[in-house]
Amino acid sequence: MKAEKYFIQGNEACARGALKAGCRFFAGYPITPSTEIAEDMAVFLPREGGSFIQMEDEISALGAVIGAVWTGLKAMTATSGPGFSLMQEHIGYAAMTETPLVIVNMQRGSPSTGQPTMASQSDMMQSRWGSHGDYEIIALSPSSVQECFDFTAEAFNLAEKYRVPVMVMGDEIVGHMREKIIIPDKVEILPRQMPKEGPETFLPYQAPPEGTSAMPAFGDGYKMHITGLTHDERGYPDASNPQTHSELVNRLCDKILKKTAEIARIQEESTADADVIALSYGAPSRSALKAVRNARNQDIKAGFIKLDTVWPFPEELVRETTKNAGKVVVVEMNLGQIFYEVQRVLPEVKVELLPKIGGEMQSPQEILEKIKSI
């Protein structure tokens, strides 16, 4: 089969990307503006020999996904703000048990039930910090229908490589927008790593300081003990031992943070000689790109940065691409979240926020005015 063209929504593209990447289990609870992902999975998963379950809520949805992963499957769920909040406990459990899975969050106006049919990027900090404790996850931010496909497929491989929950942090605009996409016949699939040792000698949590262990499933013949309690290299609870806890939790963080250079990606345009840079991610990055191009047409030295990876934050790449610029405008659909991260990594640069809430993204004109006035 050859690559095929489609004119579909970002949500549908997420579902197609997941299926191509080998996802064979989806549990979820439908919620606007992510519902089309669940609808598509309900149609297509059974045809691929997979399973779709509509659960009673989002807590059980992520619980079912975690269970499916430990049977050896690749699995995902999709939701929006209110459901994402309910999933937080299990996100921490997945991080602690190093369960590779994918969560798509098509963000809507919030807090609470907020604006079901309108867009926001208000869950960006929650995607990193929403569950209790020190842990790290990976979050990608698609800005087009093609990226919804590509990033969701990539999310499954990242999840396997680092044994970590990976979030695809979209928004209502990309979720519901329709564009032409090319779906390749095959995408690269990273299979789950099986142990080289036999069941007698394998230690499921004996990972190198910045790495992960192989992951046999229940039924593969290995003795697996999966717990959210602090556990030793056998997987047994060892919750009162300060050293065990410190080593485990440091490793959970280091296996992501110290691999930022190989995980994180950005896109840029015209940054080399730019005085002012518009930095954005997700849907509003397309507004920012238009604004930067308009600025260049008016002989304003503007540049553009789009974060493909939001977590781990691409610190070095942002520093490198802004090193000749004195000013950065952060464009996001919230009241300031990634803005503070940019400020943190660019202490010498004048960083200002162009926030927007209400459900619509910043217009190119609004961004251009900010580029001129900063």
Partner 1 sequence: MRKDIRIAGFGGQGIILAGIVIGKAAALHDDMFAVQTQSYGPEARGGASKTEVVISDEEIDYPKIENPDILVAMSHEALMAYLDDLKDGGILIIDPDMIPEEDVLPFVKEHNIKLYKAPATRTADEKIGLKIVANIVMIGAITRITKVVSEDSARKAVAESVPPGTEDKNLAAFEAGAALADGGV
> What residues line the site for partner 1 (CB under 8 A)?
5-7, 32, 116-117, 173, 176-180, 283, 286-287, 289-290, 293, 360-361, 363-365
Shortest distance, position 355 Cβ to partner 1, whole Å: 18
Tell me the C-alpha distance between 26 and 53, whole Å: 6
Shortest distance, position 263 Cβ to partner 1, whole Å: 26
Tell me the C-alpha distance between 57 and 336, whole Å: 30
Whichever of 227 and 363 has its CB closer to partner 1, that residue is: 363
Shortest distance, position 83 Cβ to partner 1, whole Å: 16
Burial 11-47 (b: 16+ CB within 10 A, else e): bbbbbbbbbbbbbbbbbbbbbbbbbbbbebbbebbee
Tell me the C-alpha distance between 10 and 360, whole Å: 17
Whichever of 75 and 357 has its CB closer to partner 1, that residue is: 357
Q: C-alpha 315: how far from its chain's center?
A: 17
Strand 23-28 and strand 51-54: pairing? parallel
Shortest distance, position 146 Cβ to partner 1, whole Å: 10
Dihedrals phi, psi of 60, to nearest 5 degrees:
-70, -30
Terminal Cα distance for the chain, rounded: 51
User: Quick one: which of 367, 304, 36 has its CA closest to 170?
Assistant: 36
Shortest distance, position 271 Cβ to partner 1, whole Å: 16
Residues in the chain: 374
Whichever of 97 and 285 has its CB closer to partner 1, that residue is: 285
Whichever of 7 and 340 has its CB closer to partner 1, that residue is: 7
Q: Scan for tokens 């459990």, then name that residue.
A: 93
Whichever of 71 and 117 has its CB closer to partner 1, that residue is: 117
Whichever of 251 and 306 has its CB closer to partner 1, that residue is: 306
Whichever of 106 and 158 has its CB closer to partner 1, that residue is: 106
Shortest distance, position 153 Cβ to partner 1, whole Å: 21
Shortest distance, position 265 Cβ to partner 1, whole Å: 19
Tell me the C-alpha distance between 343 and 351, whole Å: 6
Helix, strand, coil abundance in the chain, percent, nearest 5:
35, 20, 40
Whichever of 6 and 129 has its CB closer to partner 1, that residue is: 6
Shortest distance, position 92 Cβ to partner 1, whole Å: 32
Tell me the C-alpha distance between 300 and 318, whole Å: 21
